[in-house]
Structure 1
């Protein structure tokens, strides 16, 4: 085991910014109103399970379809870039198709929490960090997600709509910087 506190914190912060559970509180509250109840524990566990499985099988899946991790990371940097634009500019690029079996699994656990951005980020992190540090970062994020989902109404009252908007924009800028870094690091590898 090669646990590194700096890697864990960095991976945690990157995933936290991509998942943006604080910025998604308004969506969580809206889902709660529509469905009546969201199982916070179940949603957190399913999202964590999807992320950890993708962490291990994502690279094999990409190899199977003939895509290398650097290409996937460059494509992922575009996804992160557009998510960051949504967060900072307050625009909507992703359109929900409206079909949902249950609010807990879809769209909350997937694709809101464990979506294209977080899955792409996991593979990108895997190229830079030890896998055990990424797993710890994912588990820490799952705990934070559970706490936020469980207390979303209280958080919304405490922070207020302006506070949520400010937090969303700050994490959007951080995510934008991460997307640029991801792009520049991996685009070089494609031309070597």
Structure 2
């Protein structure tokens, strides 16, 4: 019942947009197409399901991991904001820092991890927990998985239809959105940290 009460369309949409920008499945279409050419087949269902399980699991056990290593959610959110900031700069400037090259399979590796549910996405999920209710993040993850599945199924068609220039524009736009969100996430959690230490 509390899950229903906590549901917010605005929070769910924002969670979707943040994760969509971090995962950048549209910008990864050329990689997906090249993997399809290399392996002959992309296991879309397996990749989408594995990505969903990874992200949902990390959402629910992330707090335990943080407690175990002695890090509070606000501090982790700030770290996540820095990661999102770097990813955004990478998207806007077209810098490639850590892209998968050598792969062993075309489903779980490298699609589910690290292309979809990579370090950036998992860090972002925990960062979002500092701001939003869990149900809204789950909905945002599910919406992304549905979109990712559609993209995986139609990546080659989309590349032909959209073209390289359009894909590049998508990447830049979502990079700017992600940059703004990372700054907001940093300032909100930094203010909470300062407030906590002042009252402490």
Band the TM-score falls in, shorter-chain normalisation: over 0.9
2:198 maps to: none
Structure 1 segments of 4 or more deviating over 6 A? none
2: CA distance between counterparts of 1:52 and 1:20? 18
1:34 maps to 2:38? yes
Give 1:9's match in structure 2, choosing from 3, 8, 13: 13
1:174 maps to: 177
2:22 maps to: 18
Residues 18 and 117, structure 1, Cα contact 8 Å, conserved in 2: yes
Give 1:87's match in structure 2, choosing from 83, 88, 91: 91
User: How far does residue 149 in structure 1 lie from its aligned partner after superposition?
Assistant: 0.5
Deviations 1:117-163 (A, max 9, x none): 21121112222222112111111110000000100001111110000
1:65 maps to 2:69? yes
Residues 21 and 148, structure 1, Cα contact 8 Å, conserved in 2: yes
2: CA distance between counterparts of 1:96 and 1:143? 23
2: CA distance between counterparts of 1:189 and 1:111? 31
Q: Kindly tell me the number of residue pairs found equivalent between the two proteins.
A: 191
Residues 28 and 149, structure 1, Cα contact 8 Å, conserved in 2: yes
Kindly name which structure, 1 or 2, has the bigger radius of gyration based on alpha carbons. Answer: 2
TM-score (norm 1): 0.94
User: How far does residue 101 in structure 1 lie from its aligned partner after superposition?
Assistant: 3.3
TM-score (norm 2): 0.90
User: How far does residue 95 in structure 1 lie from its aligned partner after superposition?
Assistant: 4.8
1:153-164 correspondence to structure 2 within 5 Å:
153-164=156-167
2: CA distance between counterparts of 1:30 and 1:97? 11
1: CA distance between counterparts of 2:46 and 2:87? 25
2: CA distance between counterparts of 1:77 and 1:61? 18
1: CA distance between counterparts of 2:25 and 2:32? 9
Residues 40 and 149, structure 1, Cα contact 8 Å, conserved in 2: yes
2: CA distance between counterparts of 1:17 and 1:97? 21
Give 2:123's match in structure 1, choosing from 104, 120, 125: 120
RMSD: 1.4
2: CA distance between counterparts of 1:188 and 1:4? 24
